[in-house]
Amino acid sequence: MIVRFIGTVAEIGFGSVADFKYFGQSADLPESLYREAVLGSCGILPEPDFNAIGFTPQELKLYANPGARQSAPDEFRAKYKRAIDKLHANREALENPPVQPSKLAPTPATPQSSAPKS
């Protein structure tokens, strides 16, 4: 899956798998590694999540490094916060995956009364 980076710097496999150095940088990761990376505090979003926030190419160019982001205008900062919020939500979902219906305890069957209805 394609992911986009929203942190400062991060490495997967000490850079041999992914070497994230700038905001918006993309990488192609196996889904299992994406999960491990997010649980390991890596600031990455699946590309659809990243695209949904609507960063412009100009913003990605101007604020690619964390120093520049410190003085970014409010419009970018609002988008940046939405990206971090999404990362947090994704991490929480991975930490607490929803229980599949098939894994729920079976609902006890309603006892069938053999007594005739009065």
Report the residue from 1, 28, 39, 52 that binds another protein according to the rule CB under 8 A. 39
Closest distance between another protein and the C-beta of residue 3, in Å?
12
Stretch touching another protein by CB under 8 A, among 36-44, 52-60, 97-105, 108-116: 36-44
**Which residues share a beta bridge with 28?**
2
Instruction: Name all contacts of 63-69 with Cβ < 8 Å and 24+ positions apart.
Output: 63/23, 64/22, 64/23, 64/24, 65/22, 65/23, 66/8, 66/23, 69/23
Instruction: Give the nearer residue to another protein in terms of CB position, either 31 or 112.
Output: 31
Count of Cβ atoms closer than 10 Å to residue 47 Cβ: 15
Residues that bind another protein (CB under 8 A): 6-14, 16-17, 33, 36-37, 39-43, 66-67, 69-70, 81, 84-85, 87-89, 91
